[in-house]
Chains A and B, each alone.
Chain A
Amino acid sequence: MKIIISNASQKPIYFQIAEQIKNQIISGELKEGESLPSIRKLAQELQISVITTKRAYEELEKEGFIDTVGGKGCFVAMQNKELLREKKMKMVEDKLSNAVAEAKLLGVRLEELKEMLTLLYKEDE
């Protein structure tokens, strides 16, 4: 498992952790049934508060990504890969439609918006 925490990020630390674990589950880096470090172990490794890692795990559990088995620890839950991808795609769609709405407000034309999107898409490559 890989986790990198940014102190400069606007996102809360628990959110960064949950997001990164989620992505690793979706991409298959973390496999079904694989065990995760305990809440306290993870807090120690990352040198953050116990409450923070607890909250991250609670989010993941709520969204069905991990299961907590009393006395045994936390495990990656059985996943339906297709369903996961769909969930993720829905998120992308939502964010895009927000962006489109904002752009319309500002009178940005579709062509301009496409151009912007292309630039952004290629930025990280």
Chain B
Amino acid sequence: MEYTVEIENLRKEFKGFTLKDVSLRIPKGYIMGLIGPNGAGKTTIIKLIMNLIRKNSGRILVFGKDHIRYEAEIKSRIGFVYDVPPFYEDLKLKSTASAIAPFYPEWNQQLFLKLMDEFELPLDKKLKKLSHGMKMKFSLCLALSHHADLILMDEPTSGLDPVFRQELLERLSHIMLDEEKTVLFSTHITSDLERIADYITLINNGKILFSKALNDVLENWVVIKAEKDLLEKKDIPGIMGYQKTEYGIEILTSDVKKARTLLPSDSITEKASLEDIMYFTNKGDNNA
């Protein structure tokens, strides 16, 4: 398999937060979802890939090349989609586009105009007049207009209404028709991802808990619910988190097949959603 992004032992220390020697590979031609609670390190990873902040140690390759040594070349092939586009607020959208176009050898003005039309974005409006969602769309429109091979999106759906979110997902699945394109998108709204992401990376507290094909996760991870006296967490193979209440216990496991053979007969097994997984793994950390 070819990888668009390869991250090895990436470390970044902030006051009060450390990204702890993270390794991650993003396969070419697929969508990778980066999920985790607020403050887990999602944005840090994306900013490090873009070299907007300096890493302490580790290695990042994008398109097989060092992300700092070949920064300009790499960035001309990346579409960075961010809800606060780093452009002059007082510039009209069409002027913003003409200002950035020269940086991208692949810029396609006709495509840009066509997309602006499709996205219903006003060429003659100033950036500061746009709503949050429209800024996001404008950012995406720019990325698509220079034929970015890697699209990095940091929380693209947060703060967007369902109609916008749906539009974005449609756009993403359209991009994936081209097997040369790769998307990395971070979010804490996991329902957006459950259908469209090929791979999922869960990060919590600066560490990667797993990075896997989403199908594998959704098929093998379950939440087991039982009376609390019937089940001890040590009984369950592959336990990733649990919670106990007055009335029962709920356990997240990544190994449904093994777990099933050990369960008391009146326990309930339910498919784990990404949200369950995020919730329980976060809890497990605190309790264990």
- Could you mark each residue 1-32 of chain A with 1 if its beta carbon is under 8 Å from any beta carbon of chain B, else 0? 00000010010111000000000000000000
Q: Nearest residue in A to B179 (C-beta to C-beta)?
A: A40
Tell me whether A40 and B177 are in contact in the complex, defined as CB-CB below 8 angstroms, given that A47-B196, A51-B214 are known contacts: yes
Does A85 interact with chain B (Cβ within 8 Å)? Answer: no
Tell me whether A55 and B215 are in contact in the complex, defined as CB-CB below 8 angstroms, given that A47-B170, A47-B195 are known contacts: yes
| Neighbouring B residues of A52 by C-beta, 8 Å | 215
Q: Which A39-72 residues have a C-beta within 8 angstroms of B?
A: 40-41, 43-44, 47-52, 55
B190 to chain A, nearest CB (A): 14
Q: Which B137-183 residues have a C-beta within 8 angstroms of A?
A: 169-170, 173-174, 176-179
How many residues on A have C-beta within 8 angstroms of the other chain's C-beta atoms?
16
Give the dominant DSSP class at B's interface: mixed
Q: How far is the CA of A99 from the CA of B237 in the complex (A)?
A: 30
Tell me whether A47 and B173 are in contact in the complex, defined as CB-CB below 8 angstroms, given that A10-B271, A40-B179 are known contacts: yes
- Could you mark each residue 193-227 of chain B with 1 if its beta carbon is under 8 Å from any beta carbon of chain A, else 0? 00111110000000000000111001100000000
Q: How far is the CA of A40 from the CA of B198 in the complex (A)?
A: 12
| Neighbouring B residues of A10 by C-beta, 8 Å | 271
Q: How far is the CA of A27 from the CA of B174 in the complex (A)?
A: 31
| Neighbouring B residues of A49 by C-beta, 8 Å | 30-31, 195-198, 214-215
**B195–A50 contact, CB under 8 A?**
no
Tell me whether A12 and B218 are in contact in the complex, defined as CB-CB below 8 angstroms, given that A48-B196, A50-B29 are known contacts: yes
Q: How far is the CA of A40 from the CA of B29 in the complex (A)?
A: 10
A33 to chain B, nearest CB (A): 24
A42 to chain B, nearest CB (A): 10
| Neighbouring B residues of A51 by C-beta, 8 Å | 30, 198-199, 213-215
B39 to chain A, nearest CB (A): 27
4 nearest CB pairs, A to B: A51-B198, A49-B198, A44-B173, A47-B173
Q: Which residues of B contact A (CB under 8 A)?
A: 29-31, 169-170, 173-174, 176-179, 195-199, 213-215, 218-219, 271
Q: Which residues of A contact B (CB under 8 A)?
A: 7, 10, 12-14, 40-41, 43-44, 47-52, 55
Please, could you name 8 A-B residue pairs with CB atoms under 8 Å apart, sorted by A?
A43-B173, A43-B176, A44-B176, A44-B177, A47-B169, A47-B195, A49-B198, A49-B214
